[in-house]
Structure 1
Amino acid sequence: RPYLAAYRAAMTLTTAVAILAVDFSAFPRRLAKTDSTRGVGLMDVGSGSFVLANALASRVARGLTTSSPTLRSTRWWSLIFLACARGLATHAMDYQQPVGEYGRHWNFFATLAVVDLCATATPPPPAFSSFAGLAILVAHQTSLLRGASPSGAGAAGVASSYGEYLLRDVPRGEGLLEQNKEGVGSIPGYVALYFLGAGLGRFVERSLCDAAKRASIRCWAWRWLLSLAVADAAFWAAAMTLHARCQAVSRRTANAAYCAWMLAFNLQVLLAFIAAGLLFPATPPVPKLLAAVNRRLLPTFLVANLLTGAVNGAMDTIHVGTLTAWASMVGYLSVVCVVGLA
């Protein structure tokens, strides 16, 4: 779908811009990831949006059976390779990586690998993906609120709940799980988000298939867009209610409020691309750059991560002037786009 390809590519390029731009003092701090354990910032949408972008274009979203074991294995090992490459590159370049974000050894590519494994190893029937996602999210949120923390976790004693344990900034134990508690602990939330996104994608796909049977597709498309807008409003209402009444948004734990926020935010962006296609039907469906990046999401994102580390190794980004920051960003993004087009 043209609007989906444009959305996925634009999301990837926007994320690529943000991960380097935030290292410059010229970047507004209010747009960076929240420094606290809970709260919202524009850059907090990156990880959840990437998971949703994969889910919306998944085979489950298209109502297809799972892919072949060979294809699943290839994709999973590719993600493992990217996770290891990212970790080694970060260590080699001595690039700053807040331990409280994913853990000492974990990174987002590792999260993607585990989410992909969970989503493809035992996938629910396509018609029930939303229910599976909702069930996992309810269980995850319940464990965050009421689950017992590991005994003796941290020097300050036992946390009052599993969610508090994941967010506490205290000395870590020697075990791998405790060293990477944020990354591991957020996996159920991201798996739930993936299945919910696949369910949303399936709803959109089925609606488009039904549209092909209608005589007045354009008139129907605007009504369909309105129904998606109503669904998006419901997601926003759910996100704000969960944030206020249940537990504040936390990207680090991928809690229910965060997942609802991601669904609302990304559906809103998707609606903008759909509306643009309806308003300007004569324009090319997907620009060449966006179409190319859509086919190479992970490689493009990995190159952006590596270049970010290289730029930080070459200069003291936080202390350079605005002009140097802009020039660096133009050069950096040009290379990322060339890689996407290659």
Structure 2
Amino acid sequence: MSQRDLKEAFVSNLTGTSLQEVALGSFLAPLCVVNRGLVWILYYQSRRALPFPFPWLSHLCLDFGVIVLPLVLSCTVLSHVLPQVIVGLASLSAAAMLCICHGAAAPSRGESFVRSHVQCGQVPFVTVFRVLVNMKTAISILAVDFSVFPRRYAKTETYGTGVMDFGVGAYVFANALVCPEARGKSIPGSRMSYVKKQLLSVWPLVVLGAGRLVGVKMAGYHEHVTEYGVHWNFFFTLAIVRVAASLLLALFPLNRSWLVALLIAGLYQFTLETSDLKTFLIHNSDRTKDFLHANKEGVFSVLGYIAVYMAGVQVGLYVMRPRTQVREWLGVISKLFLGSCALYAALHLCQAAVEPVSRRMANLPFCIWTVAQSLFFMACLGTADVTLLWLKGKSRCHSVPSSWSPREEERRRPPEKTAADMEAHCLVQAVNRNQLAFFMLANLTTGLTNVLVDTFRCSDHVSVCIILSYMFVNCCSIHVLHLCGVTIKFW
């Protein structure tokens, strides 16, 4: 077999992992975020001040070491001991929290904390959710080509739940959370003119998709055609989902987005069960007949991704609503947990009565699973954010980046002079500022790495070093753009 054939076989015919292991991984990133905050709080408690001005490279290395490094290790050399990694990080967090509480000036009452207020206008855990989905996607698209990456985490062939299967659905869901409609932005002009504007605004995704197609064909890069098809790729899916969702949101009330999502996913699943569509998608291997035959997975899976997007809009409408009291946000987090549990129960019933999860078809179980797991991950990040808020109040350190801060009138001292500088040097804020650029850069550097390195024959330790170097280049590039105040937008 040729090198290309070996690489294609390496990512083909996989069955994924369990729902429980994917859900277990949701605890890792929130612990990393909490530990990053604990580092700053402990430093503040020991010095009664934060370093100012910041050496930007030091801040980048701290964020990279506390957030990105554990994510890379947990899906490579430490994947077989993931529960122990999570327990270990949780133990470190608990020990640090005890130190912070011991060094606090005065005990704080839980009741007063629940009644306290936070600065409105931001939902930090939504920002962190979107950034972490992007980072995990960037890690996975390169790591999957190395043998150190567990095959059970890679995208499944037809049925199954791989970590990367969730990643593509979560990426669509994350974009929907903060779309203009979900944030309640007023639409200028008529709704149809707005749809036309959205049609024009997706041209960068179309160009990127076409560029990736041409690059892959010219370079002879290995392809897993059962993923999207011969000519299709995820950029085309994102473009069509955005335009189709804009049209649906113009035709139907925003607060009924969940119903539209259910109808699309339900009707699509009904069609799969009552027609020859499922057989065509799974068993028809003739890709030379026409465009539809060549790209059947990419074309038809768009329906499932539209349903996921509409569900994300509904969640965004609820989560992005202005709230100021901690009590209100605790209620939001509780409802996210409850919603996730309800959807997981529906998923088990659906898999028993209909069919398993299929990312390849983006069927109804896939849509339910994507939303359920996204809600669970968001709830875990929300819990981490509330925990940091409580610790910031006890330590009087209000400058931990990418987290809630008490309202000015509730602080017992003036706001930290370094707060703005903390955000300016924060890796999470850097990626959030240029999410599409980060995703583009990750795709480009993934292709470049595969051209320069024989990923198939690298040892585990060399593989991890290459993945970490790749992620550091991506993060450093985006971080420099952030420091320079550059926001890359094409429309």
TM-score normalised by length of structure 1: 0.89
Between the aligned partners of 1:104 and 1:244, the Cα distance in structure 2 is: 32
Does 1:192 pair with 2:192?
no
Between the aligned partners of 1:307 and 1:92, the Cα distance in structure 2 is: 17
Q: What do residues 211-260 of structure 1 show as CA deviations (whole Å, max 9, x unaligned)?
A: 44xxxx22333233222211110111112221221121000111110001
TM-aligned CA deviation for residue 71 of structure 1: 4.9
Q: Which residue of 2 aligns with 1:15?
A: 137
Between the aligned partners of 2:378 and 2:153, the Cα distance in structure 1 is: 21
Counterpart amino acid of residue 162 in structure 1: L
* Structure 2 counterpart SS, 1:37: coil
Cα pair 1:86 1:302 within 8 Å, conserved: no
Q: Which residue of 2 aligns with 1:175?
A: 290
Between the aligned partners of 1:122 and 1:228, the Cα distance in structure 2 is: 25
Q: Which residue of 2 aligns with 1:146?
A: 274
Does 1:226 pair with 2:354?
no
Q: Which residue of 2 aligns with 1:150?
A: none
Q: Which residue of 2 aligns with 1:235?
A: 343
Structure ID, larger Rg: 2
Please list every run of 5 or more consecutive structure 1 residues that lacks an aligned counterpart in the other structure: 148-160
Query: Which of 105, 113, 121 in structure 1 is aligned with 2:247?
Result: 121
* Structure 2 counterpart SS, 1:171: coil
* Structure 1 counterpart SS, 2:202: helix
Between the aligned partners of 1:75 and 1:50, the Cα distance in structure 2 is: 18
Between the aligned partners of 2:274 and 2:478, the Cα distance in structure 1 is: 45
Identity, % of aligned pairs?
34
Please list every run of 5 or more consecutive structure 2 residues that lacks an aligned counterpart in the other structure: 1-122, 189-193, 393-399, 404-422, 482-491
Q: Which residue of 1 aligns with 2:395?
A: none
Query: Which of 218, 231, 235 in structure 2 is aligned with 1:109?
Result: 235
| Structure 2 CA distance for partners of 1:325 and 1:235, relative to 1, 3 Å | same
| Structure 2 CA distance for partners of 1:340 and 1:144, relative to 1, 3 Å | farther
Q: What do residues 179-213 of structure 1 show as CA deviations (whole Å, max 9, x unaligned)?
A: 1000001111111111111011112233xx3x44x
TM-aligned CA deviation for residue 273 of structure 1: 1.3
Between the aligned partners of 2:453 and 2:379, the Cα distance in structure 1 is: 39
The runs of at least 4 consecutive aligned structure 1 residues that moved more than 4 Å come to 65-71
Count of paired positions = 321
Does 1:95 pair with 2:226?
no
* Structure 2 counterpart SS, 1:24: coil
TM-aligned CA deviation for residue 176 of structure 1: 0.7
Q: What do residues 88-124 of structure 1 show as CA deviations (whole Å, max 9, x unaligned)?
A: 2222332211111100000000100110110123423
Counterpart amino acid of residue 209 in structure 2: A
Between the aligned partners of 2:187 and 2:261, the Cα distance in structure 1 is: 17
TM-score normalised by length of structure 2: 0.63
Does 1:249 pair with 2:370?
no
Q: Which residue of 2 aligns with 1:75?
A: 201
Query: Which of 141, 149, 160 in structure 2 is aligned with 1:27?
Result: 149
Query: Which of 260, 268, 285 in structure 1 is aligned with 2:402?
Result: 285
Counterpart amino acid of residue 130 in structure 1: W
Q: Which residue of 2 aligns with 1:303?
A: 441
Between the aligned partners of 2:196 and 2:290, the Cα distance in structure 1 is: 33
TM-aligned CA deviation for residue 77 of structure 1: 0.6
| Structure 2 CA distance for partners of 1:19 and 1:186, relative to 1, 3 Å | same
Between the aligned partners of 2:332 and 2:199, the Cα distance in structure 1 is: 37
Between the aligned partners of 2:187 and 2:199, the Cα distance in structure 1 is: 12
Between the aligned partners of 1:146 and 1:75, the Cα distance in structure 2 is: 37
Between the aligned partners of 2:319 and 2:236, the Cα distance in structure 1 is: 29
Q: Which residue of 2 aligns with 1:204?
A: 319
Query: Which of 447, 468, 481 in structure 2 is aligned with 1:330?
Result: 468
Q: Which residue of 2 aligns with 1:154?
A: none
Q: Which residue of 2 aligns with 1:155?
A: none
Q: Which residue of 2 aligns with 1:135?
A: 263
| Structure 2 CA distance for partners of 1:66 and 1:165, relative to 1, 3 Å | farther
* Structure 1 counterpart SS, 2:232: coil
